[in-house]
Structure 1
């Protein structure tokens, strides 16, 4: 028997407890039993409390971890990309690029210059025709000004520019020339020439208002002569050191004598560049007298004193503005000369005959370079047509802007908008009057032309855009970086969301650039630049593949479609760049968009090419290119036998209309007490998953980006649709949406007219001409059809754009598909200037 058994036996043999001892024993037992139960309960409670504590700790940990993740995600999208910047931080400084430090980098004003620096000295011109009734001050480019024409005739992007502006009854020619020297970007000079439109129509008085402003830092000191005339000013800023700006007395014209003028000036502390026009307007007074010798006296408006309006933005003491006003009669010529204090060995002042000689020299160089690159004379174009092409190129180059500041952005993890990291952007703009800011998808088209003129400049622009990338690989699609830029943008378009893309058109110009780097020497020359590009291009490419992925493998879907489906006939897709082009009537995650798929095929090919040039892994990009270029898979995912075209796929119905909503008005109630009934969307037939019937630009993308094989029978079908006047063909270019489409020229809301629903757009027509040129020069059964279409479409486009330029004085945003007339915003010398490449047949 073991130890336990012996112990039990001994306990059973113990002596019984008797008498008083027994009673005490029983009492002790009774006292012990409750204690035993309490102890068990205490142990269980301790366990429960401990478990509860652990659960609380885990719950709080999970809560705070979730808060941390939310915070981390909310901060991640405003974290800059981790790879080294493509452009060095001082790439735009006068020590690195002195010839490009100063420039006409203010596309939103008719004439002005600044430096490529965060807080530049800003210079510009305003003018007004003196009338007794009102003040018509010209400063920022406004379509409401109604000018018959304005734009650069010549501009090389570096040394000089010549612009002509036609106001009512007179013209102004603005010219500038730069001369490098010293440590701060050198000197520059302006010449403003005014002429009457004709001898019969004499304009009474013109006032030119030259201004100089410090944008946040710097000092300006006026120097007067004859008590009222601002002869020159001296100043200093961190970027420029000391400088002097001289305002020469006006002349009647080159080679003619002095011109009588009245002078006024004003020095103020400004509220900011975006309010500069208002500052001048509010400082004008008409108690000044123009009193020419032997002529008639006339009262005129001039700058006097400035009083900020009540409740206005507090003035920044570091933002000074000096205004020099010259009031005189036509004709006249006025010069302004900027001289850098560090330019110690200048041979002479850049004015008078010296300035004339410099302008002549630069104009000759510009013409020689233009003829060498584009060779339009060999293509059979006349001198006026060549001058038109020069103007188109010059307006693209002269519309380049340098911006610095923050975008305003938001992600789904942020309750409120936040500021994106501050930074610079050097870019072209679509339109000086309507879109004087950077647009991501426009810029790829812009750089096709800019790169043809100046490859180094184009590489700077590409680097500038990619340096705005965040750690996720996202680039804000619209760049509105400061108050001056935001003053030209409707508030609803300012906020940028990080799930929204734009067509990656920079791959178009990258394809062109790397195609020109086939030789080992060119690869070696550009290797450092390409190696800086590659990490950011990888992130950008991966971002599209993850955030814009479609419901099936190798399909893609634009995010950011309009959510207010009750008000739109067809919800817009601004992120696609094609805005109101018809997509699936009911946005859903089931959509697949053929245009984005083709953009990714292009991007995959360029990524493979760049990686291979640098000896980096390229097979995954090649594989993606092969898959996305697989015509059988493309047709499986996007070809509709019923529509006989490539199409988007989604939750769609054609039976959608806009109808006036019905408002119940109780009997006896006056109708004007109730709001006017709105146009709202009415769905007559429920949507279902199907291909979207909207033949137009989206249907052409497999052809436009040359995804289709030269022997694909779908090419023949597309060529027939393109050539059909009841569908896409017009004498002026390809219309954006077929006449057969239910949404052709339909309004999207009561006040939202058709945009990409019929009008002719030059960007997509350029891609069509480029693709036709490609298919006409490669073996295939439809080669001759492509060649014929190429000649006809190219001729139609060039002829109409040139004709409209002669008739209206402008290149336009879009062209009417029925009449060919220019419409939309103007001047639009962004992608519409690609007409120059079509003329030169440079693709």
Structure 2
């Protein structure tokens, strides 16, 4: 304490020293302030950078982060026993699995002995050139029956389930093979396999053969067995316990196990039989094929059961009698739902039953993770692993889920079984991410991935698809109010669905979900305008595709730009707002905001300002466009390079309405019933609809006018026309629905009624005639001669022919 006072006193005595000391102190103070400011700036920059990195990291994860809401699907798998097992492998000619992510799968292959050029049949493949194949009857619950014509073989595959709350019950599958003329020797293969999702060695799951019985164990099913019961001449049976690299290579693995037998079997000679797999020592078997060399006629019953089921499985004459009972029940239920017997000939009704059955039989159960990307991800990332219960457009060409297709599928499935369709819609809505986006194409599992070109696997979160599933959901609710009342099971499902359409955080604030995602991400530059994202001009296309619209190569503005306005998307959003109002009304939720959007988008003055052309008196897209484009061959630039076809622009583009592409897009204000019944614009559309030189044909409405410069023109050297003149059933269904709506009242009711009758008759007559001619429903039909084109069988939205025949919209 004394020393401290002395030091202070000394400082007061020496003035000069004080000056020097203050000067140094000032410099230190300035330095300190500068240092503090610098550290603050650096700290702030570090914090800002950390926040920036965190935000980037957050944005990167949004694309594959699920929406944090209660799942729409609460009960599935073993908890829905009547739909636990089923023909949920639509991509193979005949296969059975359960609605469980780790289900064993079972399937069927065949080949004709002595005719090896035809190959082994397994996956549905257009190149197999089968005369016909498809379900004759399928109820989606308990049974199905399918006819496969692989001349000279007639193969009928069928199954009957006995549901059970213990391990899902049991089932019997029957394969009945006959030949039209002479007896034929055929190799029939039934196999069991473990999905690779169970792990490479399936440590808790096994498959093996024991005394002619296929046996297996999984944690979900416990112990199960498959017995084989046959009737007919059996030359030889062989099997192998093998290791397959994946479900997508089962046929190749089977083929590698075939070796000629050492013994000769009379006139048949050396038969190909299965040999042991050399890789079996490395791990447990995940693939067990059983081959029977048989002579037609022959049938095989494949009987699946578990150890703890008291009810004996069906087989032999019991199976035959039970199948006949199911057929009768199905036919009666079909007639009750669709009322066709008094309107159509017997063969036409049989075709309609087959169309519905192929839609139901085309429902699959998939599990896996797709690949997705956003502007914030440098590379594609995996979506979360999830199940999907969905119908597929085509078993041979598109054996996977498509978002806008499923909306059309649901119109028919929902008419047959609202329970099945609500389950399908709930699975789709559970795929919504935190942004409110659903990937438009679902490629789940190795079998699905193996059948998709590499460039289509990755899905972009900027890409929309028409909200037909939402519109179909509202249609189902509107037509079945008794199923959605308080206390009903489907009401509970709808309640859980709604937050996935519109998420409410507080009473006064909502965030993105599927409906709002459309409203936020697909907006155009002008008020009430909308624009499909995802159009890219690579210089090779006559008119760059708009895959997100569902209408692929339908001509839009020739030069993609941000100023585009798409009339079809604007109309889709009108219908989506109306659908939201319907669903909200039935859930006793405030509808005002949806009705306000619907009414705004239904304002014809606003619609006409954006999309009506006074010159051509048609609705059209708007954008940077030129009709002066054509495909030309560009000479090779170097000796070792190939020449290629590119687009040449002869007339510079300008902002304008795309009136040269009169077609389906031009009809959307009518198709989705945006126009009022008294609208003169509706009258003009109906007038144009009836002109053979434009869209009208004896086979349905063409997708593009014959007067368009793009009519039936190739889009690239390798891409033939797709939506450029062909007749498509989904849009024709919308046209018939709209015509029936406008025929009820209004200025143009009589004309709409006349067009409805004639268009419906044209479509029904042609689709039925083509089925009788070649045994298939097709992806599209020619506007020139009505012949089916595209892929076959296409029992997705083409199966809407059943609703058209029944006058159900």
Give TM-score scaled by structure 1 length: 0.89
- Report whether the alignment pairs 1:540 with 2:514: yes
Q: CA deviation at 1:519?
A: 5.6
Q: Deviations over 1:608-635 (max 9, x none)?
A: 1221222211101010011111112111
- Report whether the alignment pairs 1:408 with 2:367: no
Distance 1:189 1:615 in 2: 46
Q: 1:369 aligns with which of 333, 339, 349?
A: 333
Q: Deviations over 1:29-67 (max 9, x none)?
A: 6x8877765554443333333222221111111111100
- Report whether the alignment pairs 1:142 with 2:105: no
Contact 1:401 1:428 in 2 (8 A): yes
- Aligned residue for 1:193? 176
- Aligned residue for 1:458? 421
- Aligned residue for 1:444? 407
Q: Secondary structure at the match of 1:390?
A: helix
Distance 2:328 2:637 in 1: 73
- Aligned residue for 2:524? 550
Q: 1:93 aligns with which of 71, 77, 98?
A: 77
- Report whether the alignment pairs 1:162 with 2:145: yes
Please show how residues 770-781 of structure 1 align to structure 2 within 5 Å.
770-777=737-744, 779-781=745-747
Contact 1:660 1:678 in 2 (8 A): yes
Distance 1:42 1:447 in 2: 78
Distance 1:480 1:290 in 2: 46
Q: Deviations over 1:112-164 (max 9, x none)?
A: 10000011011000001112655711101011111111110111111111111
Q: CA deviation at 1:288?
A: 5.0
Contact 2:248 2:450 in 1 (8 A): yes
- Report whether the alignment pairs 1:243 with 2:224: yes
Contact 1:270 1:316 in 2 (8 A): no
- Aligned residue for 1:256? none
CA 1:541–1:383 in 2, change beyond 3 Å: closer, same or farther?
same
Distance 2:90 2:116 in 1: 30
Q: 1:328 aligns with which of 291, 294, 309?
A: 294
Q: Deviations over 1:527-583 (max 9, x none)?
A: 32222121111111110000111111211111111242x111111110110011111
Across the two proteins, how many residue pairs are aligned to each other? 778
Q: Deviations over 1:463-493 (max 9, x none)?
A: 1100111111111111111111101111111
- Report whether the alignment pairs 1:697 with 2:664: yes
Q: CA deviation at 1:233?
A: 2.1
Q: 1:624 aligns with which of 589, 597, 602?
A: 597
Q: CA deviation at 1:283?
A: 1.4
Q: 2:677 aligns with which of 695, 707, 710?
A: 710
- Aligned residue for 2:267? 296
Contact 1:289 1:297 in 2 (8 A): no
Please show how residues 113-128 of structure 1 align to structure 2 within 5 Å.
113-128=96-111
- Report whether the alignment pairs 1:789 with 2:775: no
Distance 2:437 2:336 in 1: 39
Please show how residues 37-52 of structure 1 align to structure 2 within 5 Å.
39-52=25-38
Q: 1:812 aligns with which of 778, 798, 801?
A: 778
- Report whether the alignment pairs 1:435 with 2:401: no
- Aligned residue for 2:317? 353
Distance 2:258 2:118 in 1: 9
Q: Secondary structure at the match of 2:175?
A: strand
CA 1:459–1:339 in 2, change beyond 3 Å: closer, same or farther?
same
Q: CA deviation at 1:170?
A: 1.3
Contact 1:139 1:277 in 2 (8 A): yes
- Report whether the alignment pairs 1:214 with 2:197: no
Q: Secondary structure at the match of 2:240?
A: strand
Deviates more, 1:39-48 or 1:273-282: 39-48
Q: Secondary structure at the match of 2:159?
A: strand
Q: 2:239 aligns with which of 247, 257, 265?
A: 265
Give the RMSD, CA atoms, in angstroms. Answer: 2.0
Distance 1:132 1:606 in 2: 55
CA 1:626–1:133 in 2, change beyond 3 Å: closer, same or farther?
closer
Q: CA deviation at 1:86?
A: 1.0
- In structure 1, the gaps of 5 or more residues are 1-24, 225-230, 253-258, 309-313, 666-672
- Report whether the alignment pairs 1:755 with 2:722: yes
Q: Deviations over 1:185-237 (max 9, x none)?
A: 111111111111234xx53x21001001122242223123xxxxxx2122221
- Aligned residue for 1:228? none
Contact 1:288 1:302 in 2 (8 A): no
Distance 1:814 1:462 in 2: 25
Contact 2:207 2:285 in 1 (8 A): no
Contact 2:81 2:165 in 1 (8 A): no
Deviates more, 1:233-242 or 1:320-329: 233-242
CA 1:214–1:827 in 2, change beyond 3 Å: closer, same or farther?
same
Distance 2:761 2:302 in 1: 44
Q: 1:720 aligns with which of 687, 699, 709?
A: 687
CA 1:562–1:339 in 2, change beyond 3 Å: closer, same or farther?
same
- Aligned residue for 1:386? 349
- Aligned residue for 1:14? none
Larger radius of gyration: 1
Give TM-score scaled by structure 2 length: 0.93
Q: 1:287 aligns with which of 252, 261, 276?
A: 261
Q: Secondary structure at the match of 2:771?
A: helix
Contact 1:87 1:460 in 2 (8 A): yes
Distance 1:315 1:377 in 2: 60
Contact 1:159 1:177 in 2 (8 A): yes
- Aligned residue for 2:789? 823
Deviates more, 1:299-308 or 1:706-715: 299-308
Q: Secondary structure at the match of 1:384?
A: helix
- Aligned residue for 2:623? 650
- Report whether the alignment pairs 1:57 with 2:43: yes
Contact 1:270 1:315 in 2 (8 A): no
Deviates more, 1:48-57 or 1:824-833: 48-57
Contact 2:113 2:187 in 1 (8 A): yes
Q: Secondary structure at the match of 1:329?
A: strand
CA 1:724–1:81 in 2, change beyond 3 Å: closer, same or farther?
same
- Report whether the alignment pairs 1:600 with 2:573: yes
- Aligned residue for 1:422? 385
